[in-house]
């Protein structure tokens, strides 16, 4: 597990109060997180707004989310999605709805992307479509090793084949 050596948090907090003066929601507008691990890899996350969940104050539900992973000696990974569930304790982020990943010359669309920092993995799944200048690929899951930049592509059901269309 990586030790984070830097964490910057910028946010504007807005509390919603009901007519009985009870706080019913914590909305954070213009949220920006930046973390750097002990190896110098950087993770930047921004959202139009986020809401702290009532069940766990370390979990935020983010809207209109953008993320950037800047790996030492590797290509940058950019991510955008309509929503994400962010854990402020371990920085794991679960992007969902209209997920787009940009890596080198490739675009990857999916319904979900999980960034699991304790495993140094980014996993895209559900309706995955990989596009680059030479091919189009449909699969169930694409995983990216964040340490080495290796990509793994698979189907959930071994009876189904990965579809590759050369342009």
pLDDT in tens, 56-95: 888 999 999 999 998 888 888 899 999 999 998 888 999 9
pLDDT tens digit sequence for 37-46: 878 888 999 9
State phi, psi for 118 to the nearest 5 degrees.
-65, -20
pLDDT value, residue 165 = 85
pLDDT value, residue 25 = 55
How many Cα atoms occupy the beta-carbon half-sphere of 63 within 13 Å? 8
Contacts of 136 (CB under 8 A, 6+ apart): 129, 130, 164, 165, 167
- Cβ-contact 128, 110 below 8 angstroms: yes
Residue 108's closest CA among 131, 84, 126, 80?
A: 131
Whether the model clears a pTM of 0.85, i.e. scores above it, the answer is no
The average confidence (pLDDT) of the chain is 82
Report which DSSP code applies to 118.
G
pLDDT tens digit sequence for 93-102: 999 999 999 9
């Amino acid at each position: 597990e990586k030790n984070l050596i830097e964490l910057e948090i910028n946010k504007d907090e807005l509390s919603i109060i009901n007519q009985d003066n009870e706080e019913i929601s914590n909305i954070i507008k213009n949220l920006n997180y930046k973390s750097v691990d002990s190896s110098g890899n950087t993770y930047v996350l921004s959202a139009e707004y986020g809401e702290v969940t009532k069940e766990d104050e370390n979990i935020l539900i983010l809207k209109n989310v953008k993320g950037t992973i800047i790996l030492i000696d590797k290509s940058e990974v950019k991510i955008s999605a309509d929503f994400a569930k962010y854990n402020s304790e371990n920085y794991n982020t679960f992007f969902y709805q209209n997920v787009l990943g940009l890596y080198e010359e490739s675009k990857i669309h999916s319904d979900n992307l999980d960034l699991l920092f304790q495993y140094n993995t980014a996993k895209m799944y559900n309706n995955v479509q990989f596009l680059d200048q030479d091919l189009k690929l449909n699969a169930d899951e694409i995983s990216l090793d964040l340490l080495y930049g290796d990509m793994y592509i698979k189907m959930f059901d071994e009876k189904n084949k990965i579809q590759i269309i050369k342009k």
